[in-house]
Amino acid sequence: MLSRTADHLYWMARYIERAENMARALDVTYRMSLVPSATHDDATLWQPPILVTGYSESYSRLFGEYNAKNVLQYMAFDKRNPSSIVNALENARENARAVRVAMSSEMWENVNALWLELQPRMKDNLREEDISEFCDWIKSRSHLFRGVTFGTMLRDDAYQFVRLGTFIERADNTARLLDVKYHLLLPSGEEVGGAVDYYEWSALLRSVSALETYQKVFRDTIEPWKVAELLVLRHDMPRSLHACFDEIMPILEKLCGNLGDECLRQAGELHARLHYGRMENIFQNGLHEFLDEFVTQHYALGEEISHTFFNSLPH
């Protein structure tokens, strides 16, 4: 298929997944802000969602202090934030519109309706008490898009590029979210194992729809190292790094053909680390170091995918 068509489909899926991930980050932050804690001021609570996006310097220049009002505006509706929900959904719609003939009519109608339904919400300021409803709406529409894609799209190369974009974006977000929590938000010693600590980790699990999964798998109280194992190494946890690369590898095997094997080599290296890795070894060498290296290699894989399939076309 044409490189430009593949590029639009890939980025359409990435942007819809990104909007959902931003909604998840906002929702979990809001839920954590409802828990009384003398050690958690506005800056401590509302900085992590910005750190996940990687745009903390841009935010600081625009707003300075971290609080609910500023973070909500920046992450939801600010056009100056490349990863804001409104930018992600607008980019998803523009990419979808460019390749309407390459997807089912139901997929286009879903993406277009999502953008149109967002417009009246943008006219009203997002209040703290409306965060959960807004985030749930974004998540449900993202789920609907994936369901429509799975149920209506021909299983050709176009379908593979949509799936590839989804799992590339999802793996990046899971790694960043876990790294921010572990490296920057570990509570002080007296809080470890306390009520606030438990709520924070359960909120993190909820942000990736994994709380019930954790309870089924471990049947124990929530412990940070078990959360990390679930989100990094468990192949049966849908949003884990391992599960994402279980999907990415066969997709790239189908798509690469005679285009070269550098994509497969890079993806295979990451997949092997997740497939054969052991949590005790990862912790011994440092979870932050592991996740930081993963994000760097994952970014390089994304660049290689663009070079191999899209000839680095702008999106």
Q: Does residue 67 lie in a domain region?
A: yes
pLDDT for the residue numbered 149: 96
Q: Say if residues 180 and 54 touch (Cβ distance below 8 Å).
A: no
Q: Does residue 315 lie in a domain region?
A: no
For the CA atoms of 221, 45, 29, 15, the dihedral, rounded to the nearest 10 degrees, stands at -120
pLDDT for the residue numbered 181: 76
SS (H, E, C) 145-176: HHHHHHHHCCCCHHHHHHHHHHHHHHHHHHHH
Kindly report whether the global pTM for this prediction surpasses the value 0.75. yes
Q: Does residue 143 lie in a domain region?
A: yes
Residues 6+ positions from 88 with CB-CB distance below 8 Å: 15, 16, 18, 19, 22
Q: To the nearest whole percent, how much of the chain has pLDDT over 90?
A: 60
Domain total in the chain: 1
Residues 6+ positions from 55 with CB-CB distance below 8 Å: 81, 82, 83
For the chain, first and last CA: distance in Å? 17
| Residue range 233-265, pLDDT digits in tens | 999 999 999 999 999 999 999 998 777 689 999
Say yes or no to pLDDT of 193 above 70.
Answer: no
Q: Does residue 237 lie in a domain region?
A: yes
Range from 11-25, 127-141, 191-205, 219-233 that averages highest in pLDDT: 11-25
DSSP 8-state symbol, 191:
G
Say yes or no to pLDDT of 25 above 60.
Answer: yes
pLDDT for the residue numbered 43: 72
Least confident piece of the model among 19-23, 217-221, 243-247: 217-221
**Cβ–Cβ contacts within 10 Å for residue 289, how many?**
12
**Cβ–Cβ contacts within 10 Å for residue 65, how many?**
10
SS3 275: helix
Q: Does residue 177 lie in a domain region?
A: yes
CA angle 147, 85, 156 (to 5 degrees): 35
| Residue range 73-100, pLDDT digits in tens | 899 999 999 999 999 999 999 999 999 9
Query: For 222-257, b where at least 16 C-beta lie within 10 A, e where not — what string?
Result: bbbebbbbbbbbbeebebbbbbbbbbbbebbeebbe
What is the residue range of 71's domain?
A: 3-310
Q: Does residue 218 lie in a domain region?
A: yes
**Cβ–Cβ contacts within 10 Å for residue 187, how many?**
17
Q: Does residue 279 lie in a domain region?
A: yes
Packed helices 42-53 and 3-33: angle between N→C axes, nearest 10 degrees:
170
DSSP 8-state symbol, 308:
I
pLDDT for the residue numbered 222: 84
Say yes or no to pLDDT of 53 above 90.
Answer: no
